[in-house]
Each structure stands twice: as structure tokens, then as C-alpha cells.
A = this chain, B = another copy of it.
Amino acid sequence: MTDVVVAVDAMGGDRAPEEIAAGALAAATESGAGVLLIGQEEAVRPLLPADLPAGFEFVHASEVVGMHDDPAVGVRTKKDSSLVRCAEAVRDGRAAAMVSAGNTGAAMGAALLRMGRIKGVARPAVAVPIPVPGSGPTVLLDAGATVDCRPEWLVQFARLGAEYARVRHGIEAPRVGLLSNGEEAGKGDELRKAAHPLMAALPGFVGNVEGRDVMTDAVDVVVTDGFTGNVLLKGFEGALRMMVNLVFGALGATEEAEKASEVIMPGLLAAAADLDPDGTGGAMLLGVDGVCVISHGSSSARAIVNAVRVAADAVTAGIVDRMKESVRDAS
């Protein structure tokens, strides 16, 4: 049992509050972290047992920032929303980290508003672990926080991403690539061409990498702007969904195939386990002065347990202080 308390937004996500509350309860007993669940009393309280587990606390917040709320407006006007209260809990030291499966833009807005940025960081970035079956994940950032980027911001993302890969995935000397439309140094749009020479001095910089390299063991951290990163991340999602449908369609196409697939299915599911987004622990917002884990929109209870674990581990590893140092060293 650690003393790390993680604030969990009970109202964020497609399966909120049921799955979030279930995950928060499980996390309090399984993960070793304390949990501060924040949400609407009337919606959440009925989901909780009369006897709350040790290390679990529930706090009422009257408002909800929805998936279709404008993120900036939502966090500014809904001051008593579960999301804003989570970020506030981190700012005030009541929690050491926050987890939300809600609106990514709003989570970023709340974190920026209440926790603020790390001094010297111009813009935050969302780091997402992209699964690579058979080896550790590749960290892709920015996956959507900062869509219009300056070259020097990409350099900061590279520093933050490398630190994240060290702390989160235990990669001592991460290989960092700049996502581009070709491997040669001269390849890229204006942003990439300007960023490449600035990144050349970074430890572990391997030069340009392409979309096809992300899901391989060729690189540990892939840096891009939030627009391109988001498009690529969702492209992966779509391609995997298509392939899963295709494979399962073929396995169930005939009675004979269905019978044969019984033999194959266990191995296939085991191999595909790495791809389950509920198992990754979610994305992390880097560059803010606190730990903020953003779990995917359809998070199950298990996804929340993993997100709480990842958040607590990041706190224990001192990830924010390490990022502060990494940025300070650079300036």
C-alpha cells in the first residue's frame, strides 16, 4: 500500500459512471493506490457499497463535461464538474494524479487550467503507447493535444516523450524518431524540415521515421504534431478493427472453419492481447504540472484499474520532476 492517491473522474467515458465506479473500487483494493472518485452523488452513490474499501473516498461534484461540450468552454463554465474537480484535487495535493476516460480536450483543458504547465514547456502533448506485439510499445506523441505546432515544440515533445518512455516502459536510452513522409533527412513538410536539425542534437535521435515504422521495434518514441498524431492513431484503430472483422469473419464463415477455429482461437487471442486498449493503461498528458492519465472513451472497469495503476506508478517514479529536469537541462 502506497500513499499515492489517484483522483478518478466518475462521469467521463461512454460507459460512465458504472464501469468507472467499478474500476475505481477494484483499483482501490487491487492496485495499492488510494482512490478519490469524483462525480454526481445521485448517479454514483448507488453504484458504491455501503462499506467503502480502505483507501477509497467518494466526493460529489454537481456538473458533467460531456463528450460533445466544447472543451475550453466546458472546463471554464463547469467549475463544479467532476473533471475540473479531479484536476483541482491534484493541484491542492488531495490527490497525486488524475484519471479520466472523458473528453480528451476537456481533460487537457482542466489539467492546464488547474495544474498549469511545467515551467519552460510551451505546449502539452498526449503520449499514447502503440502496441507492438512481441516487443515493448512505441510511444506516439502528440496524439491530439496541440494540433498546430512550432518546430521547437516538437523538440520539447521529444524530450518529454523520451522521459516518459524511460519511466513508463523502462527503456533506458529511448530511440526517438521524427514522423515524416520519408526516411531521408530532407523529407517532410515545412514543419518537419525545420524541426529535424533542431532534433539532431537530442540523445537517441534516429532521424525521420515513417508511418509503417510505428508498429515495429525500429523506434521507441515517435514525435509529431497533434493533428498528424491523432489521424495516425485513429487510422491504426480503424485498420486493426478492419483486420479483426476480416479474420473473425473468415473463422466463422463455414461450419468447418468454425470448428477448426476452436483450436486456433486461444493462440490468436493470446497473441492479440497486446492490442487490447484496456490493457495499456491509457494515454498520458505530458507537459502539465501533475500526472494526468486519459483512458480511452469506451474504457471498461479493467481499463480504469490499469489507468490508476499507471498513474500511481508515474507518481512514484517522480515523472513530473524528471520532466521538469529534462526541460530545464535543455534551456
Contact = CB atoms under 8 A, between A and B. Distances in A.
In this complex, the interface size class of chain A, counting residues with CB under 8 Å from chain B, is: 35 or more
Interface stretch (A12-20, A206-214, A283-291, A299-307): A206-214
Contact of A189 (B225, B241, B254): B225
A181 B231 contact: yes
Nearest to A234: B211
B242 A271 contact: no
Contact of A232 (B68, B186, B188, B211): B211
A215 B239 CA distance: 7
A230 interface: yes
A189 B190 CA distance: 15
A227 B182 CA distance: 10
A327 interface: no
Interface in A222-255: 224-228, 230-243, 245-247, 249-251, 253-254
Interface string A183-195: 0101011101000
Interface stretch (A78-86, A89-97, A153-161, A256-264): A256-264
Contacts of A250: 264, 267-268, 270-271
A188 B230 CA distance: 10
Contacts of A108: none
A263 to B, nearest CB: 4
A231 B210 contact: yes
A169 to B, nearest CB: 18
A240 to B, nearest CB: 6
Nearest to A190: B148
A249 B231 contact: no
A236 B239 contact: yes
Most chain B Cβ neighbours within 10 Å, of A216, A236, A238: A238
A39 interface: no
B263 A238 contact: no
A144 interface: yes
Contact of A257 (B188, B216, B225, B263): B263
A213 B231 CA distance: 10
A147 interface: yes
Given A181-B226, A231-B231, A235-B236, A268 B247 contact: yes
24 contacts: A132-B242, A133-B246, A147-B188, A181-B226, A181-B230, A181-B231, A210-B234, A212-B235, A212-B241, A215-B242, A216-B242, A224-B231, A235-B239, A239-B239, A240-B243, A243-B243, A243-B247, A247-B247, A249-B271, A250-B267, A250-B270, A250-B271, A260-B264, A261-B264
Given A147-B188, A181-B227, A211-B231, 20 more contacts: A132-B242, A133-B242, A180-B231, A181-B234, A189-B225, A189-B226, A192-B227, A211-B233, A211-B237, A216-B238, A236-B239, A243-B243, A243-B247, A246-B271, A247-B271, A250-B268, A253-B267, A257-B263, A257-B267, A261-B264
Interface of A: 68, 70, 132-133, 144, 147-148, 179-182, 184, 186, 188-190, 192, 210-216, 224-228, 230-243, 245-247, 249-251, 253-254, 256-257, 259-264, 267-268, 270-272
